[in-house]
Structure 1
Amino acid sequence: MKQKQIFLLHFSYWLIFIVNAFISKMVYGKDSFGVLNVTILIANFLGFYVNYFLLAPRFFNPKKFYLMIIGFFIGVFFFVLFRYSIEEMLLPSLMGFRNYAEGTTLGFYFYDNIYYSSLTIFVSTNLWFFQYYFTAEAERIKLIEENKHAQLQALKTQINPHFIFNSLNNIYSLVYQNSDKALPAIEKLSELLRYSTKDLEKDVISLDKEIGYIESLIGLEKLRIKNPEMLVIEKNISYPKINISPMLLVPFVENAFKHGDFREKGFVLKVSDDNKVLHFYLHNYKNQKTKDKASGIGIDNVKKRLEILYPKKHELYIKDLESEFIVDLRIIFPYEND
């Protein structure tokens, strides 16, 4: 809760308190706002803020109700102490009169003032609780966001080494074969690394840039594939500048190239964003000779990021069959992309 809102709550309470005192005077036929009205206002004010700043933070504990009862009566005690000091000690010495009749016992004085102080202590405790709750809630939300950001940064840093490792394996194979495709492959990898190094630091990038990564990656992989025409790519993008987390789609494509069978079958990739719903579909055939137990790192990474970034706003279906791997992902983009 903002400080301005807290101030307005306090101000409203004291305004109502003073207005009520004037109304009471009118109802009971007294014309002036007397000295005793001022003294009880001072006693309420002092009791209110002693409870607000000292007692409520110390005794408020929903799990220990008895502490709250103790805190309430201590608050009443301070109200009584303030009122007694002002009306029964200070007023007689300065103005020659007191509020209660002389000889009034302390027991009666305390009991009588439970009535006058209860509302003040109750409101004071509740206002403190509201401030505490909203402050704690704001800190909790901030902590969640900070944890999300830290987790996303950690997840994103996992992508880059994984991506480099896969690409270097491909280039190593070209170099080993003395292929004239090795140099273009290195150039394309350097382009990809420049983009990824710069954009992985950002929270979001444009959708067309993410797809650009994928197209560059496919261009890099085509250099080692004998039949690149088997890579079927369909792109239908109406909102190229819509925001998306960087490297969110790339791991699926990486995974397809790492474990796919491109001798005779290739793969099918479809990307569209009709009505601002991203649809990413990828179907590839597995290379039965490759059995890499670490193949799930990139996919698991994406699953975690999707849960953090688009909770209840995405659907991810993965079919991991004996000879095929299918990814069907839909993301409903948030309203801030409008």
Structure 2
Amino acid sequence: MSERILNKRNYIIGHVVFWIISASFFCIIFYFNSKSFNTSLVAKAIITNIGFAASVYINLYVLIPRFLKKKSYIFYFFWLIVTLSASSLLVQLIIVYPLRNVLHVSEEFASFNTNTHSAFFFVTLIYVGIFSFFKMVKDWIAMQDLNFKLAKIEKQKLEAELTTLKGQLNPHFLFNSLNNIYSLALVKSDKVPELILKLSDLMRHIIYESREDFISLQKEIEFVDNFIALQKIRVSDQTSIIYEKIGDVPSARIAPLLFEPFIDNAFKHGIPGDIDKDYIRISFDFQQDSSVVFHIENNYSEVEKWNTKHSGIGLQNVKQRLSLLYKKDEFKLDIKREYPVFGVKLHLKLK
């Protein structure tokens, strides 16, 4: 038996039990009023509760969906009063005439006077209020459960997308780094062991430390420090590398590997070799409002061709990850390319 059918069955059983208890309760009330127990007393209790139930279910399945949920409050309360009044009148007609004639009870017992009518109206209103309250609570819980499931699905989708993006980034980074070390190994440079150690630290950061959506900003800055130190090996002394950090690194969290693609592109495309004064300028400005401004700028030659097929992957990944992990008002990314300068400025709210 499916969970849905089981829940529906339990729902029906619960309501039936409730109305049996309610009818029994009114039997007791009528007994104390009449000082005798007979068939007509039970019939009156049952018919009274049928009137209650009619108003309750008309409200639950007609008035609330059609008017209240659509915020047509005036129509809702109008038809609610009409329903309660009609239910009261119908019960009165059933009790006063058929019950008196068929069961041969006294007119006094079967009577449904103004006081009784008012009492029935307000008791019905109480029943309607109770059932409406529990329905709203049930609907609220169902909505919260639905929102939780949707949020879980969205998170799983987000994690899958981020995993894909990181998977695209890691081979790209590793390929470039190994190329640098391989070039030095060809000339038997003494720096190769140091670079391999740095690369090991960098890969540890990518493979293990960057698994989380957000990591320590301090660790990410250390990663950038090592990455820049590794990249410096490939450039000539004629290239000016300016790297500065303004302010103290705050105890905050940040999405990992946001800066690497920008820095990698700067070193890859910003060192043309045919410009007398080529440069790369990198800066972090840690501000008092728990934000950081990352700025990187490099010049490039007129003949430099932008390889969008490969170098563009990293930049596009960063844009996607920013959109997935941060709200629109939590970051601002500006990318400008005006010959001979290419620049990126990222203003990011820290977690």
TM-score greater than 0.5 by the shorter chain: yes
Q: How does 1:180-191 map to 2 (within 5 A)?
A: 180-191=190-201
1:205 to 215, 219, 244: 215
The letter for the 2-side match of 1:306 is L
Cα deviation, residue 182, structure 1: 3.4
For residue 325 of structure 1, what is the aligned residue in structure 2? Answer: 342
Please say which of residues 246-255 and 231-240 is displaced more in the overlay: 231-240
- Does the residue aligned with 1:246 lie in a helix, a strand or coil? coil
Distance in 2 (alpha carbons) for counterparts of 1:246 and 1:34: 77
Distance in 2 (alpha carbons) for counterparts of 1:154 and 1:45: 59
1:297 to 313, 334, 340: 313
Distance in 2 (alpha carbons) for counterparts of 1:99 and 1:254: 91
Q: How does 1:224-235 map to 2 (within 5 A)?
A: 224-227=234-237, 230-235=240-245
Aligned length: 280
Whether 1:272 and 2:279 are equivalent positions in the alignment is: no
For residue 284 of structure 1, what is the aligned residue in structure 2? Answer: 298
What fraction of aligned residue pairs are identical, expressed as a percent?
Answer: 30
Distance in 2 (alpha carbons) for counterparts of 1:228 and 1:48: 88
Normalised TM-score (structure 2): 0.62
The letter for the 2-side match of 1:128 is K
The letter for the 1-side match of 2:315 is I
For residue 18 of structure 1, what is the aligned residue in structure 2? Answer: none
The letter for the 1-side match of 2:172 is H
For residue 11 of structure 2, what is the aligned residue in structure 1? Answer: none
The letter for the 2-side match of 1:189 is L
The letter for the 1-side match of 2:241 is L
Distance in 2 (alpha carbons) for counterparts of 1:157 and 1:261: 27
Per-residue CA distance 1:78-101 (angstroms, 9 max, x = gap): x96xx96xx959x998x9844659
Normalised TM-score (structure 1): 0.64
For residue 11 of structure 1, what is the aligned residue in structure 2? Answer: none
The letter for the 1-side match of 2:317 is N
Distance in 1 (alpha carbons) for counterparts of 2:172 and 2:256: 15
Distance in 1 (alpha carbons) for counterparts of 2:161 and 2:128: 44
Distance in 1 (alpha carbons) for counterparts of 2:176 and 2:204: 16
Distance in 2 (alpha carbons) for counterparts of 1:310 and 1:291: 28
Q: How does 1:219-258 map to 2 (within 5 A)?
A: 219-227=229-237, 230-258=240-268
Whether 1:308 and 2:324 are equivalent positions in the alignment is: yes
Structure possessing the higher radius of gyration over alpha carbons = 2
The letter for the 2-side match of 1:193 is M
Per-residue CA distance 1:54-76 (angstroms, 9 max, x = gap): 947xx77979x9xxx9xx99xx7
Residues 204, 245 of structure 1: 8 Å contact kept: yes
Per-residue CA distance 1:217-244 (angstroms, 9 max, x = gap): 1111122222287211111242432110
For residue 139 of structure 2, what is the aligned residue in structure 1? Answer: 132
Q: How does 1:20-59 map to 2 (within 5 A)?
A: 55=61
Q: Structure 1: which 5+ runs fail to align?
A: 1-32, 102-108
Q: Structure 2: which 5+ runs fail to align?
A: 1-31, 35-40
Cα 1:40/1:298, change in 2 over 3 Å: farther
Per-residue CA distance 1:141-196 (angstroms, 9 max, x = gap): 44444433433333333322221122123223333444443343222212111121
The letter for the 2-side match of 1:269 is I
Distance in 2 (alpha carbons) for counterparts of 1:246 and 1:41: 68
Superposed CA RMSD in Å reads 4.7
